[in-house]
Amino acid sequence: MSERTPMTLPRLAEMKAAGEPIVMVTAYDYPSAKVAEEAGADIILVGDTAAMVVLGYPGTEPVSMDEMVMLGKAVRRGLDTALMVGDMPMGSYEASNELAVQSAQRLVKETGCKVVKLEAGGTSVERARAIVRSGIPVMGHVGLTPQTATALGGYKTQGKTAQGAIKLFEDALALQSVGCFSIVFEAVPAAVTEAIVEKLEIPTIGIGAGPATAGQVLVYHDLLGITTGRTAKFVKRYAEIHEAMVGGVRSYADEVRSRHFPEPDHVYGIEPAELEELRHYLDQESLTSQKAWDWEPLP
């Protein structure tokens, strides 16, 4: 594993102060966590985008706490130094402060994540306060919040009007005031982000929010080109892994069908004398004429 020291919240604050960009990426299982860790990401988010990119749901709403816990445990096993953030799925925190604290504790205890993330302002601010007071650090999330995308009018850029941007600023300020250590800004005009983050003390992480945030986050499957079909404007693809994977499996299928696989390098050997003894045994007339129902288990 790497020589890096574990990422901490003070270190993130220092990075923001020093203007050192923070790299955050999602991961949903052991291999993606290993890749993100090896690539040097500072923060790994076990995001509820898992609902779509891993579990095949149409949105993030259906993913359950049990599913997030299962994915989070796998991610933990692949991490070494990056800060692991557990995303709180829809329904796990909105109803009451008690529910929010219980859910956050479950994520931390069962997955080994160090901090949690929840979406939106409004009542989420109170939930964030309760979780922070229980001793678990919280990352906020404003702008386009997919769990409540329907109420926001769909998967749309947020803060495009002065009033919308002011509301976004107020949510971010409120989340900071209750102790959130960082806030994700999603799908916000770059100029709005720039104007708002100047007024915040904590590090912000952008996704489709321009370059002014202290760090950036992208969804693992989007940036690697594992996601197929249309992706958001803010996604930059750094690889085309889906095509490479389909190509690999297709080549395997072709070679099986044409009997080019397995090759001599892929098979196990046996000592000739042992093989000869086996053949001799199998050649016995009595063995091949024996009926299946003659067979009796050993005592």
Q: Which residues are catalytic?
A: 186
Q: Summarize the chain as % helix, strand, coil (round to 5).
A: 45, 10, 45
Nearer to ligand KIV, 189 or 206 (CB): 206
The stretch near ligand KIV (CB under 6 A) out of 5-13, 41-49, 249-257, 283-291 is 41-49
Separation between Cα atoms, residue 288 and residue 4, nearest integer Å: 63
Nearer to ligand KIV, 176 or 182 (CB): 182
Nearer to ligand KIV, 136 or 205 (CB): 205
Q: Does 140 bind ligand KIV (CB under 6 A)?
A: no
Separation between Cα atoms, residue 94 and residue 104, nearest integer Å: 12
Given 33, 36, 41, 49, the residue binding ligand KIV (CB under 6 A): 49
Q: Strands 43-46 and 115-117, how do they pair?
A: unpaired
**Cβ at position 171, least distance to ligand KIV in Å:** 15
The stretch near ligand KIV (CB under 6 A) out of 40-48, 68-76, 155-163, 242-250 is 40-48
Given 7, 12, 16, 26, the residue binding ligand KIV (CB under 6 A): 26
Cα 227 → chain centroid: 13
Q: Cβ atoms within 10 A of the Cβ of 156, count?
A: 10
CA atoms within 13 A on the CB side of 268: 2
Q: Does 45 bind ligand KIV (CB under 6 A)?
A: yes
Separation between Cα atoms, residue 125 and residue 123, nearest integer Å: 5
What does residue 228 show for φ and ψ, rounded to 5 degrees? -110, 165
List 205's β-bridge partners, or say none.
Answer: 184, 215
Separation between Cα atoms, residue 49 and residue 55, nearest integer Å: 9
Q: Are 46 and 217 in contact (CB under 8 A)?
A: no
The stretch near ligand KIV (CB under 6 A) out of 44-52, 148-156, 167-175, 286-294 is 44-52
Nearer to ligand KIV, 233 or 266 (CB): 233
* Contact code string over 58-97 relative to ligand KIV, x by CB under 6 A: -----------------------------x----------
Near ligand KIV in 203-222, by CB under 6 A: 207, 217, 219
The stretch near ligand KIV (CB under 6 A) out of 3-11, 46-54, 78-86, 224-232 is 46-54
Structure-token pair, residue 194: 């720039």
Q: Does 47 bind ligand KIV (CB under 6 A)?
A: yes
Q: Does 48 bind ligand KIV (CB under 6 A)?
A: yes
Separation between Cα atoms, residue 30 and residue 220, nearest integer Å: 13
Torsion of Cα atoms, 70 then 75 then 77 then 81, to 10°:
-150
Nearer to ligand KIV, 176 or 216 (CB): 216
Binding stretches for ligand KIV (CB under 6 A): 26, 45, 47-49, 87, 141, 184, 186, 207, 217, 219
